Amino acid sequence: MSNPARSNQASPIPPAQKSSKKGLASVLEYVQGVTQVTAGTLLALTMLTSSVVAGGLVGLALSFRNLPDVRVLRNYIPSETSYIYDINGTLLDSIHDEANREVVGLNEVSPHLKRAVLAIEDSYFFSHHGINPPSVARAFLANLEEGRTVEGGSTITMQLVKNLFLSPEQTINRKVAEAVLALRLEQVFSKDQIFEMYLNQVYWGHNTYGAETAARSYFNKHASELTLAEASMMAGLIQAPEEYSPFINYQLAKQRQAIVLDRMQKLGWITAEEVAEAKAQPIGLGQITSFQASQAPYVTDAVSQELSDRFGQDAVLKGGMRIQTTIDLNMQRLAEEIARDGLASVQAQGVYADQISIVVVDPRTHFVKAMVGGVDYNQSQYNRAIQALRQPGSAFKPFVYYAAFASGSYAPDSTIMDSPVSYPDGDDYYTPQNYDGGFYGGMSIRQALAYSRNIPAIRLGQEVGINRVIEVCRILGIKSPMEPVTSLPLGSVDLTPLEMAGAYATFASGGWYSETTTIVQVTDSKGNVLLDNTPQPQLVLDPWATAALNEVMQGVISNGTGTAAKLDRPAAGKTGTTSSERDIWFVGYIPQLSVAVWIGRDDYGPLGVGATGGTYVAPIWRNFMVRALEGVPVENFKPTSAFVRP
């Protein structure tokens, strides 16, 4: 909404028919035509109306000097719905508090709707000064006859101040306060400014506020696009939005539409032909937009929480943010489908898993392209992609191998011993074992990683230093707590699937790192940028060491523990299985995509004997990659020969 204090545009709305009868004469004629009261009653009413209209409000204004200062509306910003979009501009979710509202300027509202609202709510809006004496007189008589407040006689200005400043109670004091504030408002703001505020403030039912949001809900179009038929139906809802709603009672909404159209014709604003055409026009309804389900709830929950932590919850719920996420909705839906089918498949094979998470990161930007936080959001809103800290098992080993390559002391074909070893561990000794319980003796680092041997990883961790391994993890963006224990190279640390996918993405990019994020940009409703996450890549890893790691990790898929993940293009990755078989992983990548898949149980129970990442998770990873990479060009990893060894 434009700032009311600065709005000076000429009204685009034809003024209501201006009565040539001014003052008390108009009051008397209006009252006489409506109520057919006796001459004595008219005389009494004349005296009463004269005293109220001509001078009474001035005195009452003094009594109500403690009323709110309407000038605060110069800086008033109504609560507004925030919208979350995917990377391509597809709406994922709308977030709001009680009021679902999108603010627009007066020139962004259809002239049909402006005229229809004026016709049914306040046809003399452009000729009165905040209150309309004939309406006041009519309401006074009705209320006097009933002995209680049964009719309002409110102008649009009075309705606005009531909605903004006063309680909804029907009392004489409130009505007088309403009138006083209306007079004050008309002294401070122009008619166009007041009407714009009203159209953005008015309640249209189903938690929908403002003309734009109501038009999107009822007719699935912008307020500027409403036809006469749609505008007149919408204007007819204002007095009792839920009761007259076409979603609830279409025939009653049509009756209200006819009343509005007939009123517009009586005022001379439309012709009889236009009335007939509008009444006959079929109305295509939209759907209730308030509190709709998100198209990607795990994603939008995470985005909302991140922005609430940064800007505060009120800013997200009421601030009218426009949030462009990094998510590709098509890829998100694919990941959700693969997750459901993949979990069902491993369960059918006897694995006692009940949850799965998939995270997809673009290594070129570190944008999260898809995030599956669980198999069914309706059953559990817990987002395992970012909240579940689980042991990665052998999927952690690449961080150790990179540190070894970066030290300058090791190359892919360097020999490492796979033989029994023990290390002091407090008052005891730590004696690691391989998954199969045996030992291979001397072997190349290439083979050690491909076959996921534990002893070589432990030896390398001791050689390069556990603290150096932790430092590498921090460089890759991993923030979860880590203790420098001897068993760390085997994944004895709790990490999230997002951390794993993001860290591997830096390997995929050749060592270039940007902060992994689900948000591209956030603006307010006027386009002012609040947050900009344009990637700012930095080379954080040694290029030769990264190329060496990519080379040996391709061997994991080509002839190691991850052969079930083999693609028709170069791909690198690593299986992960914890010693207790509570967590199984496959994390892999190509130059354009890094994907982590985790399977486990929320109660941390075992998945069953023989449940490994290579057997059960690698095929799920492959199924996702095959479909996600349709039409994506094949790219090769850069060889170690392209770089100088450290």
The C-alpha atoms of residue 631 and residue 588 are separated, in whole angstroms, by 19
Domain span at 411: 333-354+393-584+612-642
Give pLDDT, residue 426: 77
Query: What pLDDT, on the 0 to 100 scale, is given for residue 15?
Result: 40
Q: Which of 240, 258, 280 is the endpoint of a domain?
A: 280
Share of the chain above pLDDT 90, in %: 76
Q: Is 414 a catalytic residue?
A: no
CATH number of domain containing 429 = 3.40.710.10
Using the predicted structure, report yes or no on whether residue 216 has a pLDDT greater than 60. yes
- pLDDT higher at 177 or 306: 306
Assigned domain for 307 exists = no
This prediction's pTM? 0.83
| Same domain membership, residue 337 and residue 208 | no
Shared-domain flag, residues 444 and 545: yes
Are residues 403 and 272 located together in one domain of the fold? no
pLDDT exceeds cutoff 80 at 143: no
CB 269 within 8 A of CB 16: no
Cα–Cα distance, 131 to 570 (Å, whole number) = 76
**Which element (helix H / strand E) includes 383?**
none
271 burial class (0-12, 13-18, 19+ CB within 10 angstroms)? exposed
pLDDT band for position 168 (cuts 50, 70, 90)? low
> Which of residues 124 and 35 earns the better pLDDT score?
124
Which of 280, 297, 313 is the endpoint of a domain? 280
The pLDDT value given to residue 323: 98
Domain identity same for 231 and 339:
no
Q: Please indicate, yes or no, whether residues 217 and 338 belong to a single structural domain of this protein.
A: no
Q: Is residue 237 located within the same domain as residue 348?
A: no
| pLDDT band at 77; cut points 50, 70, 90 | confident
**Quick check: 154 pLDDT over 90?**
no
Cα of 630 vs its chain's centroid, Å: 29
Selecting among 2, 154, 217, 394, the annotated active-site residue is 394
Model confidence band, residue 171 (pLDDT cutoffs 50, 70, 90): low
The reported pLDDT for the residue numbered 140 is 66
pLDDT of 503 above 90: yes
Residue 539 lies in a domain: yes
Our separate counts of H helices and E strands in the chain read 23, 18
pLDDT tens figures, 589-631: 999 999 999 999 999 999 999 999 999 999 999 999 999 999 9
Q: What's the pLDDT at 169?
A: 66
Q: Which of 80, 102, 121, 306 is catalytic?
A: 121
What is the predicted pLDDT for the residue at 5?
Answer: 37
User: For residue range 392-412, what is the model confidence (pLDDT) as tens digits?
Assistant: 999 999 999 999 999 999 999
Taking the alpha carbons of 269, 270, 275, 281 in that order, is the dihedral positive or negative?
negative
Give how many domains the chain has, as a whole number.
Answer: 2
- Is there a domain that residue 571 lies in? yes
**566, amino acid identity:** K
Domain end marker among 263, 280, 297: 280
For range 201-220, the mean pLDDT: 95
Mean of the pLDDT values across residues 264-279?
Answer: 96
The residues near 392 (Cβ < 8 Å, ≥ 6 apart) are 491, 493, 495, 500, 576, 583, 585, 587
Percent of the chain at pLDDT exceeding 70: 86
pLDDT, position 162: 86
pLDDT digits (tens, 9 = 90+) for 461-491: 999 999 999 999 999 999 999 999 999 999 9
Mean pLDDT of the chain: 88
**Which of the four pLDDT bands, split at 50, 70 and 90, describes residue 179?**
confident
For residues 567-583, give the mean pLDDT: 95
Domain identity same for 222 and 338: no
Q: Is the pLDDT of residue 413 over 60?
A: yes
Mean pLDDT within 411-415:
97
- The torsion of the CA quartet 23, 27, 33, 39, rounded to 10 degrees, works out to -100
Residue 50 reports pLDDT greater than 70: no
Which two structure tokens, joined as six digits, stand for 234? 């919408």
Per-residue pLDDT tens digits for 293-307? 999 999 999 999 999
Residue 81 contacts residue 100 (beta carbons within 8 Å): yes
| Catalytic (active site) residue 186 | no
Contact (Cβ atoms closer than 8 angstroms) between residue 102 and residue 80: yes
Query: Is residue 465 in some structural domain?
Result: yes
